[in-house]
Amino acid sequence: MKKLSTIAFLICAIALVSFVKKEQGLTADQAATRDGGQGKKKGWVSLFDGKTKKGWHVYRGEGTGSSWQVEDGALVFVPSTEKGAKNGGDLTTDAEFENYHFSVEWKISEGGNSGIIFNVSEDSVNKKSYLTGMEMQVLDNDKHADAKIIKHRAGDLYDLISSSKETVKPVGEWNHAEIIYNKNELKLFLNGVNVVSTIVGDENWDKMVAGSKFKTMPGFGKFHKGRISLQDHGNKVWFRNIKIKQL
């Protein structure tokens, strides 16, 4: 009887250790959405219904946006073959967000480039989303020329901070990106790893911006509430499972 009790205790202990390790390995997003949709109860809101572009528009309404299509539950940018066509543009949320946790899956075409641009101010002055919004880079690190430039690789805070660790998956595979912006504190995650952490607007931030291509853009990084844009960089790219949680 004593031997059986000892065995039962050991089995319970092993199961407990396994459970703790599993919980520790979850990203914040996974923890919020485990157990068959419990994340909805924790404040997660879907930004894409998997069937339509409802809730999205082309930045400043410039172009038809027809190059943005819905395929197999994903938003897909399909480059137009028509010369001079205005079918693209950055696909942008109708809503604005402040202090949030954003989650999306993406995959890029061979040699492709795109990005997730956030805290975007859409107005009559700033004609492009990147003039105000910061960007988490989406890239084929193996075949796009931008990969040769420091701070331009997948997962980087574009032209500002390189990823602490490269966790991007090969072309054709889905990557899970998360952007957490809360009271000026910014964290980027790629495939479960915190690859960028910084404070927006402090002295170090100002120095980084002054040394980047954004130094001539007075509105860049100045807005703590804004829209989220999926970038049209002329290459095919896929986005799915797009959701957000207010913090």
Task: Choose the weakest-confidence range: 8-17, 48-57, 58-67, 198-207.
Answer: 8-17
- Whether 97 and 14 share a structural domain: no
- Whether 147 and 172 share a structural domain: yes
| Domains contained in the chain, number | 2
Pairing label, strands 97-98, 225-230:
antiparallel
Scored b (16 or more CB within 10 A) or e, 150-167 reads ebbbbbbbbbbbbbeeeb
- Whether 140 and 26 share a structural domain: no
- Whether 47 and 29 share a structural domain: no
Give residue 5's pLDDT. Answer: 53
Name the residue range of residue 194's domain: 43-246
Give residue 70's pLDDT. Answer: 97
CA 52 to chain centre: 20
Tokens 């291509």 sit on residue: 213
- Whether 4 and 122 share a structural domain: no
Rounded mean pLDDT, 12-30:
45
Rounded mean pLDDT, 207-231:
97
The CATH number of the domain where 117 resides is what? 2.60.120.560
Count CB neighbours of 77 within 10 A.
Answer: 27
- Whether 21 and 49 share a structural domain: no
Distance CA 151, CA 137 (A): 9
Rounded mean pLDDT, 126-143:
97
- Whether 52 and 5 share a structural domain: no
Give residue 31's pLDDT. Answer: 42
- Whether 166 and 236 share a structural domain: yes
- Whether 21 and 86 share a structural domain: no
The sign of the CA dihedral 181, 119, 207, 192 is positive
- Whether 26 and 52 share a structural domain: no
Residue 83 banded pLDDT, cuts 50, 70, 90 = low
Rounded mean pLDDT, 3-32:
46
Mean pLDDT of the chain: 87
* pTM of the full structure: 0.83
- Whether 217 and 182 share a structural domain: yes
Residue 85 banded pLDDT, cuts 50, 70, 90 = low
The percent of residues in the chain predicted with pLDDT above 70, rounded, is 81
Encode pLDDT of 172-214 as tens digits. 999 999 999 999 999 999 999 999 999 999 999 999 999 999 9
- Whether 16 and 116 share a structural domain: no
Residue 2 banded pLDDT, cuts 50, 70, 90 = very low
